[in-house]
Each structure stands twice: as structure tokens, then as C-alpha cells.
Amino acid sequence: MSWRQTGVALDTLRPGTTREVVLGPYQVLLARVGPLVFAVDGLCPHAGGPLVEGSLAGRRLECPVHGAVFDVASGEVRKDPFAIEPPRGGATRLGCYPTRVVGGMVEVDLSPEKPD
């Protein structure tokens, strides 16, 4: 395991919001859904859109550039930007990373490999 501190206090990440953090070479998006915090790649794999500027509705995260929609819990594509049925299409899944809260602070495990 390679747990990294994000510098984000759980109390400052309200449910239904996102926050971008840079952890070394990783640009990671934290998304709070109810009591849970998910961590995914911060850039859309389709067009490189900054997902922190997208919209979060439940577990559905929409890219602000072309409208691809991803599930923040699994990284799966829920809506392709070209209306092609996933998993085919212009977007590939997001990399996902385990999270935990230690002393009220969010940590991310960057050891899992990103999906293809």
C-alpha cells in the first residue's frame, strides 16, 4: 500500500462536492458521496477535461468538456460523449484509488495500477 496524505480534511469536503489534489505526478479528484469519499483520475481520459469543473450528481460525474459521465465509485463510463454504448466509444474508464480517513484527514492509496 502506498497511502498518501491529501491535505484535505473530511469536514471540508461536503457531500455532493469534489476537490482536486496533486499527489506527485498524480492529478486526483476526490468526490464525496454521502459519507463516502472516492478518488479517481482528475482528468477525463477522452479529452483531458478537468473533472473538478464537472458536475457530480450522486455517483455520476460529468466531464465539462464533452459530457462523458463516469461512476466515481468504479470509474466505469456511464455515458459516452458520442452517445455510443459503453464500453465502446470515445471515453475509457477512470483510474480509481482506495481512500481512508485518518485523524479526520483524507488519504489516498496510489499503489493500484490504473485500468487500461
- The domain made up of 3-108 has a fold known as Rieske Iron-sulfur Protein (2.102.10)
Is the pLDDT reported for residue 81 higher than 50?
A: yes
Residues 6+ away with beta carbon under 8 Å from 8: 19, 21, 30, 105, 106
What is the model's pLDDT at position 116?
38
Q: What percent of the chain has pLDDT over 70?
A: 93
Alpha helices in 1-116 (DSSP H): none
Predicted structure pTM score: 0.90
Q: Where are the domains of the chain?
A: 3-108
